Amino acid sequence: MYGCGHDENDIAPAQQGSRERSVARAIAYVEAHFREPLSLALIAAEAHVSKFHFARMFRRNVGLSPMQYVRWRRIVEARRLLHAGHAPTVVAAGLGYFDQSHFTRAFRAASGLTPHQYMVRSAPDGDAAPSVPAVPPTNQEHA
């Protein structure tokens, strides 16, 4: 922070451990509830910190904003369900998207394909479909 004389590396180990536990609680909450409507305030409350502090802390530790992480997690699950043969409309509804068009836009932005194209290409006789990374991308990959 400017003017406070502290460096990010000056954080006390206990404080760092507390931050890591908060992020771990938030990730566990997202993993259990990513199919439901989620907000920054809701996830921050689960982590027991203010939403503004939480957003900075989460990005610093994970490399994504909390809501980018939620979107990434939903796309990973969508990819799994589509590959298993579930219809895009069913996947969209089951993952909390407002409608199929919202799901299609989000899926295309993440994978470069529509859900239907992904299903066709990921089928055993189709071409190999580009995939969403198994781990969330970091800030360096977004630069």
Measure the CA–CA gap between 112 and 79, rounded to whole angstroms: 12
* C-alpha–C-alpha distance, residues 47 and 54, integer Å: 8
Residue in the block written with tokens 């992480």 = 69
pLDDT tens profile 59-111: 999 999 999 999 999 999 999 999 999 999 999 999 999 899 999 999 999 99
Global pTM reads: 0.76
**How far is Cα 70 from Cα 111, in angstroms, rounded to an integer?**
16
